[in-house]
Amino acid sequence: MSNWVLVVNCGSSSVKFALVDPESGNESFHGIAERLGQGSQAGEITYQYGDEKERHSLPDGKHEQALADIVEKLHSLGWLEQVVAVGHRVVHGGEYFSDSVRIDENVRDKIADCIRLAPLHNPAHVIGIDAAKAAFPDLPQVAVFDTAFHQYMPEHAYLYALPYEMYREHGIRRYGFHGTSFRYVAVRTQTLLDNANAKLVIAHLGNGGSVAAVDGEHSLDTTMGLTPLEGLVHGTRSGDIDPAIPYLLTEQFAMDAKAVNDMLWKESGLLGLSELSNDCRTLEQAMDEGNEAAKRALDVYIYRLAKHIAGQMVALGGTDALVFTGGIGENSSYVRAEVVKLLAFMGFALDSAKNEATNRGAEANIASAQSRPVWVVPTNEELMIARDTVRLMEQG
């Protein structure tokens, strides 16, 4: 092995990690540390490499202990010396960052400043950066931002219709997310189309989902906003709602702000509509067995998704291809088929056999012969982070 990048994604209670070859995309080693930062409760870390899978507890249950454990595991496997850098996924970079950057104290401080914009995500990123620096003191650290890809949106796309001082003084605007995934999928699709300037509408669909309008190298609009709550129906998040609803809930139902926030983030979306699950696979199976609540949730999800896809075409003046990616986008032939049916008036139609056959990492144009292109392109955010990390190392 040589020139491996350790890709780290720190959440508030977890650390996902993978050792990535930036050329081939191979992941020789990956895993997750869970239940971190839970007070006296022990955490747990799981490693997968080759045919091996190991799991053990982390008595302190802290991010720092998880990173130190990863270092020790890499050392015991004889792989530590092949790690050349650490690449961090960072959710929110505000208006500070329109590209990935090497981390120094100034960058770390700006990521910390963005905690005001992403209080659920950025605190863990700062903890992870500090812990990785302690664990790998001699290695370059790089931050790759979910928001950076969307920093080229025009003003008319990113401003909210609030008093302008809310943007000017406090940075309240639409930022967008899933940028690393959109960037990877855009480049790959443009290669498949042999058109580096292809206009693409990309739907990244997972437990959280968003759609972006991509013109060449950047997005011109996207469905997520200040936070990842806006836009599509998500697994547990509400997506777009009437902004008066939180006030109504506090005034008429005596819910406090935290309860309302928890409902919108954790109890809504597919889970809230179905009262069954946030997992699309579970809902599709239940629907096939006659569960009307599961069908209701999927109907709302699909209708709202089709509306947002059509809306994103306004930013581009049309599109050269519609692209599905993410766990649902790559694997749910049902969601793809139903969405494209709603977009038939725009010239889209699927080849049923191709659609059904495309899953589990397959890449294909699933459109019928008469249709505009509809691609399924698996995403690879870890590879994009690894490649950005090496690119910045080479720039010095």
- Any alpha helices (H) in the chain, and if so which ranges? 63-77, 105-113, 122-135, 155-158, 164-170, 179-193, 245-252, 257-266, 269-274, 280-288, 292-316, 326-331, 333-342, 352-357, 381-395
* 199 touches 318 (CB < 8 A): yes
Could you give the CA distance from residue 65 to residue 61 in angstroms, rounded to a whole number? 7
Write down the residue that tokens 């139609």 correspond to.
Answer: 349
User: What is the CB neighbour count within 10 angstroms for residue 137?
Assistant: 7
Helix (H/G/I), strand (E/B), else coil: 174: coil
Helix, coil or strand: residue 197: coil
- Classify the C-alpha dihedral 45-269-374-369 as positive or negative: positive
d(CA 316, CA 27): 36
Q: Which of 152, 142, 168 minimizes the C-alpha distance to 386? A: 142
CA dihedral 299, 302, 303, 306 (to 10 degrees): -170
DSSP letter at 86?
Answer: E
Tokens of 64: 């720092």
Is residue 209 within 8 A of residue 203, CB to CB? The reply is yes
Amino acid identity, position 352: S
Torsion angle of C-alpha atoms 146, 374, 201, 24, degrees rounded to 10 = 30
Query: From the CA atom positions of the chain, what is the Rg in Å?
Result: 21
CA distance 20 to 3: 9
The C-alpha atoms of residue 178 and residue 150 are separated, in whole angstroms, by 9
- By three-state DSSP, how is residue 83 classified? strand
| Size of the chain, expressed as the number of residues it contains | 396
Give the catalytic positions in this structure: 146
